[in-house]
Amino acid sequence: MGMSGARMVLECLKREGVDTIFGLPGGAVLPIYDALYDFEGLRHILVRQEAAAGHAAEGYARTTGKVGVCLVTSGPAATNLVTALQDALMDSIPIVAFTGQVPTHLIGNDAFQEADNVGITRPCTKHNFLVKDGRDLGPIIREAFHIASTGRPGPVHVDLPKDVLVKEAELVWPEKVHMRSYNPTYEGHPGQIKRAAKLLLRARRPVVYAGGGVIASDASEELRALIELTQIPVTQTLMGLGAFPMEDPLSLDMLGMHGSYYANMAVHHSDVLLAVGARFDDRVTGRVDAFAPNAEIIHIDIDPSSISKNIKVDVPIVGDCRRVLKALVAAVREELRGDVASLAREARKQWAAQIAEWKRKCPLGFEWDDEVIKPQHVIQEISTLTHGEAMIVTGVGQHQMWAAQYYRFKHPRRWCTSGGLGTMGYGLPTAMGVAAAWPDRLVVNIDGDGSFQMNSQELATCFENNLAVKTVILNNRGHGMVRQWQDIIYKGRFCAIDFGPSPDFVKLADAYGCTGIRATRPSEVVPALEKAFATPGPVLVDVWVDKWEFVFPMVPAGGANTEMILEKPGRAAKDKAAKAQTGF
């Protein structure tokens, strides 16, 4: 017996193990919403703007390891979704996005709410499909989930013409997905792994640089095993945070543009650098010819195109982080039997001492003030109050960097941030997706006053669905990150950064049915946070912070990572930064 394409879509989702979808209806997908009316086993969360559906799916996916799903209609809904698709592409987040489309016979006719959906999403998805026949629905949805979640994860878009949804057809459900054109490599090359093991053990100044791939492949345990065995210090990218516990003495915290002094110094002076699931992004490398100039580089990545893209790699290992790290641990054990490590033992002691010296010389820090709230202090308190166990989501800007620097991450999959695209407005909707997946965990959205206002309408979704996101706005009355660049790089010619009056965020929260709290003095920070975390349901805390506080260290874009600006620069240092800046 056949069923409507619409019902088939829901049936397929259920078979794929989906329990939650984020969406917003409209003409072209009404058949699906009609089927949803009495369909059991799928929870639909109605967002207020389609980009939010995409981000919510990202939050769901990143924290659960499952594929996130969103569903929106044709035309303007599909174009609204584009930002989230590109975001997921840049950060390798597995989501499957469904859009409605005008009936097949009208495609290309400038029909009502028509857009060339697959044409528009082609460059911002890992892959996309236009379904032209109901019999293809099963196989295509199966392939979509397979592609999204395997290899280098990413967003997949499925465009559904209305007639395909209405017509009845036989459900075709292949038990296994076989694609001759798509077969990611999971196992690393044994010879290369052995070479890597030898290099690591002979290294005098080794560093591990761990990225988002460690999270995507759930390889934290394997990473920890390797570090325990080799005692090599570890730095993490923005996307990798949580891959390695920051409380471990071998943690160097984040590297890169706003990375720690000691991470950047250690990487720069390393003689062997092991990159795991990281892609040598320009925010990490700074000027490429000055990045780890004396290091032999080992790179583990599942995507061959990540390897030797920006930096020439000496030992490329194509494969899944988890499996390769496991094999690497075994290879290192094997090598240790021959006691090759003794060669480097003395040098390694000196290296550890050198790193300790860098940590002592320039730890992360800020100046306390009795009157004005320092944003870093707020993050420190969130970290302490939640014992590094909360699910943390951010917007984009200074507050995001402070969250990365001052929250003490312990676990993988508890951190969502827009790294590659830097999407302001990512915070609240993503946190919503996290809260939907983890109703019993504390979800904190550390947001900027600018970023928050790009998707603040989602407070309504949070309230309606009791998604208990605790949003903490580091309110610096404007685009702080831009203020910082204009001050340091553009000679203080401030332009278009200050918000005249922002809305009263406490009242705004109230208007949406959420709880609003304000803190304007340092002594109010902890009580406000405690109250927020103890109050059920969605809460917003509006924390008025010092708008002249900047994020340090800072490597001006295009500068070398050793040329960090460590504190508010004087004239001469600003001129130098302006000159060093060759990138963006």
Partner 1 sequence: MQNGGGPRKHTIGVHVENKFGVLSRVAGLFSARGYNIESLSVGETLDPTVSRMTLVVRGDEFVIEQVTKQLHKLVDVIKVTDLTDESHVERELVLIRVNAEPQNRAEVLRVADIFRAKVVDVTPVSYVLEATGDEGKLEALLELLRPLGVQELVRTGKVAIARGPKTRVKRAEVPRRARGPEDPTVVGFAD
Ligand X SMILES: Cc1cc2nc3c(=O)[nH]c(=O)nc-3n(C[C@H](O)[C@H](O)[C@H](O)COP(=O)(O)OP(=O)(O)OC[C@H]3O[C@@H](n4cnc5c(N)ncnc54)[C@H](O)[C@@H]3O)c2cc1C
Ligand Y SMILES: Cc1ncc(C[n+]2csc(CCOP(=O)(O)OP(=O)(O)O)c2C)c(N)n1
Residue 395's binding partner out of ligand Y, Mg ion, ligand X, none, with CB under 5 to 8 Å set by partner kind: ligand Y
Catalytic entry in 239, 254, 454, 481: 481
Contacting partner 1 within 303-362 (CB under 8 A): 303-305, 308-310, 312, 316-319
Say whether residue 31 binds ligand Y (CB under 6 A). Answer: no
- Cβ neighbors of 388 (< 8 A, separation 6 or more) are 246, 247, 407, 408, 409, 410, 411
First-last CA distance in the chain: 59
Catalytic residue among 66, 162, 326, 574: 162
* Residue 148 touching partner 1 (CB under 8 A): no
| 558 and 287 Cβ atoms separated by less than 8 Å | yes
Q: Which residue has the tokens 């506080």?
A: 549
Q: How far is the CB of 189 from partner 1 (least distance, A)?
A: 4
| 112 annotated active-site | yes
* Partner in contact with 480, chosen from ligand X, Mg ion, partner 1, none, beta carbon below 5 to 8 Å by kind: Mg ion
Q: Residue 242, Cα to own-chain centre: how many angstroms? A: 11
Contact call for residue 154 and ligand X (CB under 6 A): no
- 344-403 residues in contact with ligand X (CB under 6 A) are 396, 401
- What is the rounded CA–CA span in Å between residue 160 and residue 166? 10
Q: For residues 524 and 472, what is the distance between their CA atoms, to the nearest angstrom?
A: 13
Residue 374 binds ligand Y (CB under 6 A): no
- Tell me how far, at minimum, the Cβ of 510 lies from ligand X, in Å: 31
User: What is the distance between the alpha carbons of residues 567 and 367, in angstroms, rounded to a whole number?
Assistant: 10
| Secondary-structure breakdown of the chain: helix, strand, coil percentages, each rounded to the nearest 5 | 45, 15, 40
Interaction of residue 398 with ligand Y, rule CB under 6 A? yes
Among 450, 538, 556, 559, binds Mg ion (CB under 5 A): 450
Site string for ligand Y, 413-452 (x = CB under 6 A): ---------xxx-----------------------xxxx-
Q: Which residues, at least 6 apart from 315, have a Cβ–Cβ distance to it below 8 Å? A: 192, 195, 196, 199, 296, 297, 298, 299
Q: Determine which one of 14, 16, 39, 113 is catalytic.
A: 113
Q: Does 207 bind ligand X (CB under 6 A)?
A: no
Q: Is 457 noted as a catalytic residue in this protein?
A: no
Q: Report how far residue 63's alpha carbon sits from residue 20's, in angstroms, rounded to the nearest whole number.
A: 14
- The greatest distance separating any two alpha carbons of the chain, rounded to the nearest whole angstrom, comes to 78
* Residue nearest Mg ion (C-beta atom): 448
Instruction: Quote the Cα angle for 334-338-340, to 5°.
Output: 105
Active site residue 326: no
113 is catalytic: yes
Q: Is 296 a catalytic residue?
A: no
344 membership: H or E segment, kind and range: helix 342-361
487 makes contact with Mg ion (CB under 5 A): no
User: 134 or 375: whose CB is closer to partner 1?
Assistant: 134
Q: What contacts 24+ positions apart, CB below 8 Å, involve 572-580?
A: 574/487, 574/488, 574/489, 574/491, 577/488, 577/489, 578/488, 578/489, 578/490, 578/491, 580/556
Instruction: Determine the Cα–Cα distance for residues 376 and 399; give it in Å rounded to an integer.
Output: 8
Nearer CB in complex with ligand Y: 124/328: 124
Under the rule (CB under 8 A), what is the footprint of partner 1? Answer: 118-119, 122-123, 126-127, 130, 132, 147, 179-183, 185, 187-189, 191-192, 288-289, 303-305, 308-310, 312, 316-319
Under the rule (CB under 6 A), what is the footprint of ligand X? Answer: 91-92, 152-153, 211-213, 216-217, 237-240, 254-259, 277-279, 281, 283-284, 301-303, 306, 320-321, 396, 401, 419-420, 422
Residues catalogued as catalytic = 50, 112-113, 162, 481
